[in-house]
Structure 1
Amino acid sequence: MPMALRFARTAVLALAIAAAGCSSGGRGPIAAPPTMAPSGPAADDGTAAPTPAPSVSDELRTTRPSGAPSARAYGRWGRPVLYDDFGSDRLDPRKWQVYDAPNALSHPGSPAGVHVANGRLRLVGGLYDGKDQSAGVVSRLAQTYGRWEARIRADRGSGYSATAFLWPTRLGAPEFAEIDFAEIIDGTRRTGGLFIHHGADDRQLAKIARVDFTRWHTVAVDWLPQKLTFWVDGKAVWTYEGPYVPKQADMHLNLRNETADGFHRMADTPQRVTMEVDWIRVFRAPGINR
């Protein structure tokens, strides 16, 4: 994300979370919420074999969701500390905060665009009362290190970016960190950006994943003390080991279908543009008590 958009996002997220009834500290958008206990469907009793690592398959390329994974143990990552298959008829307020900043000058966002139905979270950005509005949610869980997974797709629509990213409780010295494991700015949804942000001057590293995000894909990031690994459909598409790996921030999962300064609606952009989420899982990093 360009620096101007990134720091505009900081201010607007702070306003949005404040409107939702949560305070903000420093330059960061979100005051630290309570750490959540493991959630989702009942886990297996531990006698079953761990869930195998996801792999690229025809099933993962279908235009329909493959069905949510269970909340049982997943290889070396163990059991998820946050799990949601959006199987209820409403968003679980114990797990999520809704992005609420309809009058923001940059990154405006309306709760009217957040819907849960038929086992999916639908984030519907578009024209509300004649104004382009983002739609998004923020996990109440924040942690340092771990694994984050989301199964997503997005409608075509220039001017909207379907995103899954990690954003710190407090965006400030010494790291100013952000990890984007899907930032689908391309209006055709034929490519998705992977970004690592670091430092007050917003130094960035980036890769492009050439994937058709109008279809369902599973995106993930592993964040460990010395390494970041980005995944698409079970395939590692970028591994980074270097000084931009965050080491102090505690991060929240953000799912956003967003518009912002610098994103422009085109003549063929639909009135409403939808990003869908089939399921998410978040894991603690094995052997790290943070």
Structure 2
Amino acid sequence: MVEDGFDGTKIDSSTWVVYDSPDDRVNPRTRAATKVEDGTLKLTGGIYGGKDLSGGVASRLNLTHGRWEVRMRAERGVGYSAVALLWPKVFGRPEFAEVDFAEIIDSTRQSVGMFLHYGPKDTQRQKIVKRDATQWHTYALDWLRGGFTFWVDGKKAWTYRGPLTPERSKMGLALQNDQVCDRGPGFCRTRSTPKWVTMYVDWVKIYKAPS
């Protein structure tokens, strides 16, 4: 089990990798956007050195099957999408897979998406639930052989059993406040966007699946 309440003064580098790729075309990020303060992980989107950037971290623990829990909330703001997801240790080897168990693309933060992506053609299934994601919620994902179960605040939100379930990959948790302007003009920051838009994470728990 891994448990992190972000109670220190900096990110635990033995548990997390901090993203720093400010020149990327898709989801450019800077290490400066990632901070631990007041018992909270803060990933803050904004203008850094003249560039629209944000932040993210990835767990060093990769599993095939398990449970992931994240308590988080997101500030409103066009241009950024707060997300908790599983990403493969090596994308495309042996499988192309991505599992977003809380993707808050809605700039008003009144709905939360759950997405499965699988295969080189990015075949996708999704579920959208209504929640005020500016408030604290606990999002959880169970990945067992044959499928996924998605939870919000301890209540089952979606169950998927089918061919988009990866079975051979090791995957790890990523927490990202993505800058999403690459998705099109409607996703770029506007005059209405606050100077800083933060995703807050209170705690994370990761469990290996029982053998």
Q: Structure 1 length as normaliser, TM-score?
A: 0.70
Alpha-carbon separation, structure 2, partners of 1:130 and 1:99: 18
Is the alpha carbon distance of 1:153 and 1:171 closer, same or farther for their aligned partners in structure 2, counting shifts above 3 Å?
Answer: same
CA shift at 1:174, angstroms? 5.0
1:268 partner SS: coil
Q: Does the Cα contact within 8 Å between 1:167 and 1:253 map onto a contact in 2? A: yes
Q: Does the Cα contact within 8 Å between 2:93 and 2:169 map onto a contact in 1? A: no
- Counting aligned pairs with the same residue, the percent is 51
1:175 partner SS: coil
Structure 2: gaps spanning 5 or more residues: none
1:137 partner SS: strand
Deviating beyond 6 angstroms after TM superposition, the runs of 4 or more aligned structure 1 residues are none
Residue type matched to 2:170 in 1? D
Q: Does the Cα contact within 8 Å between 1:100 and 1:109 map onto a contact in 2? A: yes
Q: Does the Cα contact within 8 Å between 1:147 and 1:221 map onto a contact in 2? A: yes
Q: Which residue of 2 aligns with 1:24?
A: none
Q: Which residue of 1 aligns with 2:10?
A: 90
Q: Which residue of 2 aligns with 1:256?
A: 176
Greater Rg over alpha carbons, structure: 1
Q: Which residue of 1 aligns with 2:124?
A: 204
Alpha-carbon separation, structure 1, partners of 2:190 and 2:158: 32
User: Per residue, is there more strand in 1 or in 2?
Assistant: 2
Is the alpha carbon distance of 1:174 and 1:94 closer, same or farther for their aligned partners in structure 2, counting shifts above 3 Å?
Answer: closer
Residue type matched to 2:202 in 1? D
2:199 corresponds to 1:278: no
Q: Which whole-Å deviations, capped at 9, do the CAs of 1:160-192 have from their partners, x for residues lacking one?
A: 000000000111155301100011000000001
Residue type matched to 1:97 in 2? V
2:159 corresponds to 1:235: no
Aligned Cα RMSD in Å? Answer: 0.9
Alpha-carbon separation, structure 1, partners of 2:78 and 2:111: 13
2:121 partner SS: coil
Q: Does the Cα contact within 8 Å between 1:174 and 1:199 map onto a contact in 2? A: no
Bigger relative CO (Cα 8 Å, ≥ 6 apart):
2
Q: How does 1:214-233 map to 2 (within 5 A)?
A: 214-233=134-153
Q: Which residue of 2 aligns with 1:171?
A: 91
Q: Which moved more, 1:262-271 or 1:132-141?
A: 262-271
Structure 1: gaps spanning 5 or more residues: 1-80
